């Protein structure tokens, strides 16, 4: 009954959902209007021309795609003939899938969780298993998959105390979700305990750690970083990256950089807004400021004070080219973004206080002294000035950050061991 009410409510507000995605988001980013039929389960027939049933990975957006990439590539290496479909919710997520995997996987949007759309999607795709990254727990998707005997694997699962309280408010719907899970691989014992308290059978829970720690830069990636260092720093400038920044935070970051320039006139800020629709807005802010800047997309850098990173798929390399990074979404109440992309390249992290989206990462990272926390743009500026004047302390922060990543690796192999149990035998 709970799922009936949920589905009915979704259908009632469906005009608003379509208006939001196609009109509002589509106006800012045309990618939301492309492949729109997939939002209703009308996936292209070209996705299932391969005779073997696909293994489906659902990665909500860019962060989940980047986290899942090493896992999926390890799976491809172990099973070269495995048919894989990666679904997402956003155009940037889709672009990241295509960038990371080219034509080695199929790609589509996950349908909106209408029962008819989900049923159509599953009927067309006929997946051998469904792997859901983190907490994208859609009731109809999971319940219908369970009914069709499609294994539902929730991997890299995390659940904050706040999210747990939210699920407890819709207990009957939550019970359906927990009952539909075949196996759950969580970050730690605390996350596992919260899922069990929501009704997940204890026998279905496994603690594997976070796959986000399993980042090892390749030689090709390190070469790209070296090229960027030569282009923007050449070991002569203090370079810091402000990655995944949001509105209001853009202004705070630019203000901190102006304070830094008073002490280090040669310093360079590379600012990478979280969403592409913010690129032009940040450019406008920079035009109105006293700061000189260029855009990464135009390849016309000439020692400006700010570089606007208005390209996709390059943030991890830009982190690697910096002396230190600031991870956005943390000076404002957005919960922060992934600091490990920076840490993996031995670049230390500065973060604001709002990091609840990564409360499975930051406690360890700060404990091992690979990250420092600031409460305001004034504190951010002071910390940047300190690091710019004390290169050894800045390098030590980066070394500690990389050590934290190495210490917590191993989740990918544990997760692969679980997934392998649910792969269908080769025909």
How many CB atoms lie under 10 A from the CB of residue 296? 19
64 is catalytic: yes
Instruction: Tell me which H or E stretch contains 184.
Output: strand 183-186
Rounded-to-integer distance, Cα 19 and Cα 11, Å = 13
Rounded-to-integer distance, Cα 308 and Cα 302, Å = 13
Residue pair 176/143 in contact (Cβ under 8 Å)? The answer is: yes
86: buried, middle or exposed (CB in 10 Å: 19+, 13-18, 0-12)? buried
Give the contacts of 221 (CB within 8 A, at least 6 positions apart).
316, 317, 320
Give the contacts of 390 (CB within 8 A, at least 6 positions apart).
none
Q: Of the listed 64, 136, 249, 341, which one is catalytic?
A: 64
Token pair for 388: 């710019």
Rounded-to-integer distance, Cα 61 and Cα 312, Å = 13
Token pair for 207: 């603690």
Question: HEC string of 91-119?
Answer: HHHHHHHHHHHCCCCEEEECCCCCHHHHH
Indicate which residues carry an active-site annotation: 64
């Amino acid at each position: 009954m709970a799922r009936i009410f949920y589905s009915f409510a979704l259908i009632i507000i469906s005009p608003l959902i379509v208006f939001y995605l196609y009109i509002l988001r589509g106006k800012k980013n045309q990618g939301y209007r492309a492949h729109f039929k997939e939002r209703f389960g009308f996936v292209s027939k070209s996705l299932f021309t391969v005779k073997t049933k696909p293994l489906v990975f659902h990665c909500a957006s860019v962060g989940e795609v980047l986290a899942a990439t090493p896992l999926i590539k390890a799976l491809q290496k172990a099973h070269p003939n495995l048919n894989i479909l990666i679904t997402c919710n956003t155009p940037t997520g889709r672009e990241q899938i295509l960038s990371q995997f080219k034509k080695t996987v199929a790609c589509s949007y996950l349908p909106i969780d209408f029962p008819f759309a989900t049923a159509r999607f599953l009927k067309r795709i006929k997946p051998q298993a469904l792997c859901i990254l983190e907490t994208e727990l859609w009731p109809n998707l999971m319940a219908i998959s369970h009914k069709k005997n499609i294994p539902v694997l929730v991997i890299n699962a995390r659940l904050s105390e706040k999210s747990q309280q939210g699920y407890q408010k819709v207990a009957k719907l939550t019970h359906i979700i927990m009952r539909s899970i075949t196996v759950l691989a969580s970050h730690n014992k605390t996350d596992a305990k919260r899922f069990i308290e929501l009704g997940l059978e204890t026998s279905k829970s496994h603690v594997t750690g976070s796959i986000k720690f399993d980042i090892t830069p390749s030689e090709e990636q390190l070469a790209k970083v070296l090229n960027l260092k030569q282009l923007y720093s050449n070991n002569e400038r203090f370079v810091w990256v402000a990655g995944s920044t949001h509105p209001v935070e853009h202004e705070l970051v630019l203000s901190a950089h102006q304070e830094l320039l008073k002490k280090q006139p040669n310093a360079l800020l590379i600012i990478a807004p979280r969403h592409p629709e913010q690129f032009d807005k940040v450019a406008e802010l920079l035009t109105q400021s006293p700061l000189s800047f260029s855009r990464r997309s135009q390849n016309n850098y000439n020692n400006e004070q700010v570089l606007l990173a208005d390209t996709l798929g390059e943030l991890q390399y830009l982190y690697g080219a910096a002396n230190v990074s600031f991870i956005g979404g943390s000076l404002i109440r957005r919960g922060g973004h992934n600091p490990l992309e920076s840490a993996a390249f031995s670049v230390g992290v500065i973060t604001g206080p709002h990091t609840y989206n990564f409360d499975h990462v930051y406690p360890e990272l700060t404990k091992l002294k690979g990250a420092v926390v600031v409460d305001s743009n004034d504190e951010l500026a002071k910390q940047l000035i300190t690091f710019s004047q004390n290169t050894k302390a800045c390098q030590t922060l980066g070394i500690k950050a990389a050590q934290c990543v190495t210490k917590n690796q191993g989740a990918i192999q544990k997760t692969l061991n679980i997934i392998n149990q649910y792969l269908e035998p080769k025909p």
